[in-house]
Chain A
Amino acid sequence: MKTIKFLSMLALSAVLFTSCSDDDETPEEVNEEEVITTMTVTLVPQGGGDTITLQSRDIDGDGPGAPEVTVSGSLDGNTTYTGGIVLLNETVTPAEDITEEVAEEDDEHQFFFQTTGSIASIVYGDTDGNGNPVGILFTLNTDTAGAASITITLRHEPKKPNDGTLADAGGETDITQTFDLIIN
């Protein structure tokens, strides 16, 4: 009988000890680590001229605010532009450069470009370790004057290599944004 009492006391105290845990303090603020709030695409005309910046910025991430899309100006016709993409997480200060993460895991990421109107072509300017395109760097060739649009999609863990279409690549969409452009 003594052992029984002892055992039950032991069990009870064990139970009570495990119960003392978290303090009731002000919780720590969490800032999304992985959210991409800002995509900035710079288009530098080869042979001189104005650099054009395309930006999509959604400062509250998955919050209710919609991304703010800006295009700094119009592009010149029949011109080759050197393109580069920068991704930022601006919910933290200083802003975190997500492009670096994408570059480090370039075999698991790929940008896709879909165009309409007066854009002649987009050519990937970089490759991952396996020789497959990534798309942080690219060149864009404009056609004759007119309206155009470009949709930039970043896929995480797509099929690589793929035929360049979103449907074939699969994976999860990290970013997708369409920019309306005017080609002069």
Chain B
Amino acid sequence: MKNLLIIMLLFSTHVYVVAQDCNSSLRGKVMDYHDKTVLSNASILLLEENIQVYSDNNGNYTITNLCDGDYEIEVAHPYCNTLFIPVTVNGETTLDIKLEHHLEELKEVKVIGSTVFDKTNSAQEVVLRTEVLEKFSTASLGDALKELGGVSTLSTGANIVKPAIHGLNGSRVLILNDGVRMQDMEWGDEHAPNIDINSAGTISVVKGASALQYGGDAIGGTIILEQSKFLAKDTLFGNTSINGVSNGSGGNVSSEITKGYNNGFFIKGQASYKRLGDQEAPDYILSNTGIQEIGTSLQFGKRLFEWGFTGRYSYYDAEIAILRASHIGNIDDLIRSINSGQPETILPFTYDLGNPRQKVRHHLGKLNLYKRFEGLGKFNIQYDIQNNRRFEFDVRRGERSDQASIDLELMTHTLSTDFKWDSNESLQLHFGLMGRYQNNFANPATGVRRLIPDYDKYDFGTFLIGEYRLNNAFTLDAGIRYDYTKVDALKFYQTSRWEERGYDVDFPELVIEDRGTQLLTNPVFDYNNISATVGFNYSSGNDNNLKFNYALAQRAPNPAELFSDGLHHSAARIELGDIRITSETSNKLMLSYNHDFKNFGFTVEPYANFINDFIVLEPTGVEFTLRGAFPVWGYRQTHVNLIGLDVSAYSEWTKEWRTEHLFSIVKGKDTENNIALINIPAANFTNSLRFSRQEWKKLELGLQSQYVFRQNEVPPNISVFSPEQQQDIVLDINSSPEAYHILNFNSKMEFEIGKQTLTTSVLVNNLLNTNYREYLNRQRFFADDLGRNIILQLKLNY
């Protein structure tokens, strides 16, 4: 009887199929795995029948007139991994589909558009996309970031480029390299980030201390370098690019390859090599400005939706020659350099990297593990280790040209963990803990007294950030972070310096040994810092966005600010730290308004940063040595205001013609002394005209005009005694160079060669070979900036 029933059923089914008259249906809801947000416009494709439907605004989908049976459906959503689900339809069948739709997992989407922000809810943020980064394959991180509004650079020649955000650089700018906070002696003006730009997929910049998850002391801002993400599927892809650079007669080669597997495992290798000889200003060779740079990284891991791990090792090695003419003996040499108008040493072109030069290398290793708990959130734990070694070679007497004058080794271990509760649709919480140990070792074999002493540093940090979605338009955020820092140093002071600074009165207990002319001291300092942020994000529709953010941030002094003690040859000055320095406190207000019309859009971003106890390095007096007189630059603390505005706009005139406009200005003032703040970028205005036509091998042409105003607000010059002239003279070191205008050109075409894509680009920087000097280039006293530079790029994607 039972068998008969089955046979009948089968038969009847068969009849139904033949009759194309099935009455069963499949319905359900498509939603986000984490917070159960419904997903509209997801495509549900019934593979066997080739029926496609889309989920509605409530996430609901329905497929009717189905016959009972086993099917497979393909569920796709613009921002999700495509999912294949087997399903048995029997009558009115319901199937709810959970997709991995989450902002945090959208990094591959962000590569395309720069309007998706996820580092903070309400702070000013910008993203540099992969295509833009590729243009800078032969340049530095700082050069690339300069494309963004509000980001400038403090450089020493063309190869040492430090990014500055809203006028602040160094320890006030936190750099996060694939989840690891860079520890690469960022305190020095001529210490550039030890990062190979070719290793980054995208770079986001948060212009303030609002991204508390990364650190509380980013008074300038945070730069976040990330790897491009890819889907978990069986794949092998990569690219190789070769660049030829006319100015410096060199170039670079960069290559990367990624292997992915369906089970989520992946491995990625990347390497690049760059070599340039002496670079040129329009009128002369900039002798000793070559560079050799090697960057390589290896990553592997398993990235599944519910859990995963990543391991990464990266290595960076750079040897950078520094303009020979910038190494000077005393004040008179500096005066002579400033007055002569061109560098004192101009030699024939060479690839040799002579002294002065620096050699830096950075090892970075990390291991990261995450686990997602359904309906709760994501747990993350990471250990990273960094080893940074820096050699600086000076022009020295005797057989010492291969003996470094500075030899520092910085070792950092960090363990961090965080948990993100993202299951609640309207409230998200993010909590984290961080512990860090750092050791600096200054090699005594230099024969030069240590600029930075041996020290151990301990950091502990904890944060809690909340984001509350009031309604579809309005999101509030708030966060708080606490950081504890302890520095334990062992430093030799010259007895005369110890007494001159008054430390013998204030800190007699720090002396542990008297060696006659030098004292061995053991300074131990603690800093307790609180950072907090609060803000909102309001979007009405898709074309209109208003953000407000307030950030309170505190930063403990870095080792240079506390301990630096010595003569700086490139600046002819004695730099002195002060162990009395305390944490600085910043209060920053940021407003961001963005409006997109049909063919036109703009963003206006004013900000104000009020910093108490701002640590500034400035001239405090003169000291005499056998070499002559030197101005003394001391670190001191004062109150400053930084008020600025970034405006950007674009306009699509036709399908092919587009213009982009960027204007940035910032005013920095020492309110305690009522003088202008040093090293504040001049106002600048960048306009670009772009032409693109898909049909012509994706042709892109661009012309960019960069106008940099003169910095009119500079601190007063100082007066010093010149032994050569036997009188007091004004040392013209704070005067700013003239305004300048340079033009840059770029073009790009793509060719399909079989399955591969070949991208060819021609870039011309400083098209008109204009002579100019930039206020924020420390070598402006000695030489003009770079002349015309033609870069040819060939990139093959496979």
Q: CB-CB contacts of B126-151 with A at 8 A, as 1s and 0s?
A: 00000000000000000000000000
Bound Cα distance from A39 to B363, whole angstroms:
46
A33 and B447 form a contact (CB under 8 A): yes
Find residues 3-47 in chain A having any chain B CB closer than 8 Å to their own CB: 4, 7-8, 11-12, 14-16, 18-19, 21-22, 24, 26-34, 36-39
Q: CB-CB contacts of B488-504 with A at 8 A, as 1s and 0s?
A: 00101011110010000
A4 and B624 form a contact (CB under 8 A): no
B626 and A58 form a contact (CB under 8 A): yes
B724 and A64 form a contact (CB under 8 A): no
Residues of B within 8 A of A101 (CB): 397-398
B496 and A15 form a contact (CB under 8 A): no
B400 and A33 form a contact (CB under 8 A): yes
Residue B188 CB within 8 A of the other chain: no
A172 and B329 form a contact (CB under 8 A): yes
B441 and A174 form a contact (CB under 8 A): no
Bound Cα distance from A105 to B399, whole angstroms:
10
Bound Cα distance from A38 to B573, whole angstroms:
21
A176 and B627 form a contact (CB under 8 A): yes
Tell which of B300, B453, B625 touches A7, judged by Cβ atoms closer than 8 Å: B300
Find residues 49-76 in chain A having any chain B CB closer than 8 Å to their own CB: 56, 58-67
Residues of B within 8 A of A151 (CB): 723-724, 726
Residue B776 CB within 8 A of the other chain: no
Across the two chains, which residue of chain B brings its CB closest to A112? B724
A30 and B446 form a contact (CB under 8 A): yes
Residues of A within 8 A of B330 (CB): 172-173, 176
B344 and A170 form a contact (CB under 8 A): yes
B517 and A60 form a contact (CB under 8 A): yes
Query: Given the known A-B contacts A4-B265, A30-B492, are A62 and B396 also in contact in the complex, defined by CB atoms under 8 Å?
Result: no
Residue A175 CB within 8 A of the other chain: yes
Residue A160 CB within 8 A of the other chain: no
Bound Cα distance from A32 to B300, whole angstroms:
47
Across the two chains, which residue of chain B brings its CB closest to A98? B397
Find residues 141-180 in chain A having any chain B CB closer than 8 Å to their own CB: 151, 153, 155-157, 166-167, 170-178
Residues of A within 8 A of B14 (CB): none
Query: Given the known A-B contacts A8-B300, A174-B627, are A157 and B395 also in contact in the complex, defined by CB atoms under 8 Å?
Result: yes
Residues of B within 8 A of A80 (CB): none
A34 and B398 form a contact (CB under 8 A): yes
Query: Given the known A-B contacts A63-B496, A173-B330, are A91 and B395 also in contact in the complex, defined by CB atoms under 8 Å?
Result: no
Query: Given the known A-B contacts A105-B398, A170-B344, are A65 and B496 also in contact in the complex, defined by CB atoms under 8 Å?
Result: yes
Bound Cα distance from A156 to B726, whole angstroms:
21
Query: Given the known A-B contacts A26-B490, A60-B496, A166-B724, are A21 and B411 also in contact in the complex, defined by CB atoms under 8 Å?
Result: yes
Residue B181 CB within 8 A of the other chain: no
A21 and B446 form a contact (CB under 8 A): no
Residues of B within 8 A of A11 (CB): 300, 311, 313, 365, 367
B400 and A173 form a contact (CB under 8 A): no
Q: Report, as a range, how many residues of chain B touch the other chain.
A: 35 or more
Q: Report, as a range, how many residues of chain A touch the other chain.
A: 35 or more
Query: Given the known A-B contacts A66-B623, A172-B333, A176-B332, are A29 and B492 also in contact in the complex, defined by CB atoms under 8 Å?
Result: yes
A27 and B453 form a contact (CB under 8 A): yes
Bound Cα distance from A176 to B724, whole angstroms:
8
Bound Cα distance from A7 to B625, whole angstroms:
58
A173 and B329 form a contact (CB under 8 A): yes
Bound Cα distance from A37 to B626, whole angstroms:
7
A22 and B444 form a contact (CB under 8 A): no
Query: Given the known A-B contacts A24-B456, A59-B517, A172-B328, are A34 and B449 also in contact in the complex, defined by CB atoms under 8 Å?
Result: no
Tell which of B395, B398, B515 touches A29, judged by Cβ atoms closer than 8 Å: B515
Across the two chains, which residue of chain B brings its CB closest to A27? B454
B385 and A19 form a contact (CB under 8 A): yes
Residues of A within 8 A of B546 (CB): none
A63 and B444 form a contact (CB under 8 A): no
Tell which of B367, B442, B627 touches A175, judged by Cβ atoms closer than 8 Å: B627
B492 and A64 form a contact (CB under 8 A): no
A33 and B627 form a contact (CB under 8 A): no
Bound Cα distance from A12 to B724, whole angstroms:
60
Looking at the assembled complex, report how far the CB atom of A66 sits from the nearest CB atom of chain B, in whole angstroms: 4
Across the two chains, which residue of chain A brings its CB closest to B450? A30
Q: Which of B345, B365, B567 has the largest count of A CB atoms less than 10 A from its CB?
A: B365
A22 and B626 form a contact (CB under 8 A): no
Tell which of A24, A26, A61 touches B625, judged by Cβ atoms closer than 8 Å: A61
Looking at the assembled complex, report how far the CB atom of B135 sits from the nearest CB atom of chain A, in whole angstroms: 33
Residues of B within 8 A of A67 (CB): 624-626
Bound Cα distance from A36 to B333, whole angstroms:
18
A30 and B520 form a contact (CB under 8 A): no
Bound Cα distance from A150 to B612, whole angstroms:
50
B448 and A32 form a contact (CB under 8 A): yes
Residues of B within 8 A of A26 (CB): 490, 520
Residues of A within 8 A of B333 (CB): 172-173
A12 and B311 form a contact (CB under 8 A): yes
Q: Which of B397, B441, B724, B726 has the largest count of A CB atoms less than 10 A from its CB?
A: B397
Bound Cα distance from A62 to B372, whole angstroms:
59
Across the two chains, which residue of chain B brings its CB closest to A175? B626
Bound Cα distance from A63 to B576, whole angstroms:
11
Bound Cα distance from A58 to B726, whole angstroms:
20
Looking at the assembled complex, report how far the CB atom of B797 sits from the nearest CB atom of chain A, in whole angstroms: 27
A156 and B397 form a contact (CB under 8 A): yes
Residue B341 CB within 8 A of the other chain: no
Residue B435 CB within 8 A of the other chain: no
Residue B387 CB within 8 A of the other chain: yes
Residues of B within 8 A of A155 (CB): 329
Looking at the assembled complex, report how far the CB atom of A127 sits from the nearest CB atom of chain B, in whole angstroms: 20
A177 and B454 form a contact (CB under 8 A): no
Looking at the assembled complex, report how far the CB atom of A26 sits from the nearest CB atom of chain B, in whole angstroms: 7
A172 and B395 form a contact (CB under 8 A): yes
Looking at the assembled complex, report how far the CB atom of A49 sits from the nearest CB atom of chain B, in whole angstroms: 28
B442 and A64 form a contact (CB under 8 A): no
A105 and B624 form a contact (CB under 8 A): no
Find residues 600-624 in chain B having any chain A CB closer than 8 Å to their own CB: 623-624
A105 and B332 form a contact (CB under 8 A): no
Bound Cα distance from A98 to B400, whole angstroms:
14
Query: Given the known A-B contacts A15-B365, A26-B490, A67-B625, are A91 and B517 also in contact in the complex, defined by CB atoms under 8 Å?
Result: yes
Looking at the assembled complex, report how far the CB atom of B705 sits from the nearest CB atom of chain A, in whole angstroms: 38
Residue B413 CB within 8 A of the other chain: yes
Residues of B within 8 A of A66 (CB): 623-625
Query: Given the known A-B contacts A8-B300, A15-B313, A27-B444, are A58 and B515 also in contact in the complex, defined by CB atoms under 8 Å?
Result: no
Q: Which of A14, A19, A37 has the largest count of B CB atoms less than 10 A from its CB?
A: A19
Residue B242 CB within 8 A of the other chain: no
Query: Given the known A-B contacts A8-B309, A177-B723, are A27 and B626 also in contact in the complex, defined by CB atoms under 8 Å?
Result: no
Q: Which of A14, A19, A62 has the largest count of B CB atoms less than 10 A from its CB?
A: A62
Besides A7-B311, A61-B625, A62-B567, 19 new A-B residue pairs in contact (Cβ under 8 A), listed by A number: A16-B385, A18-B387, A27-B454, A29-B444, A33-B448, A34-B447, A58-B626, A60-B497, A62-B566, A63-B623, A64-B497, A64-B623, A153-B724, A157-B395, A172-B395, A173-B333, A173-B627, A176-B626, A177-B626
For the complex of A and B, list the 10 residue pairs with the smallest distance between their C-beta atoms, beginning with the closest. A172-B329, A33-B447, A173-B329, A15-B365, A64-B500, A28-B444, A66-B624, A22-B441, A60-B496, A63-B494
Can you show 8 pairs from A to B with CB atoms below 8 A apart? A14-B313, A15-B367, A21-B409, A22-B409, A67-B624, A91-B517, A172-B327, A176-B626
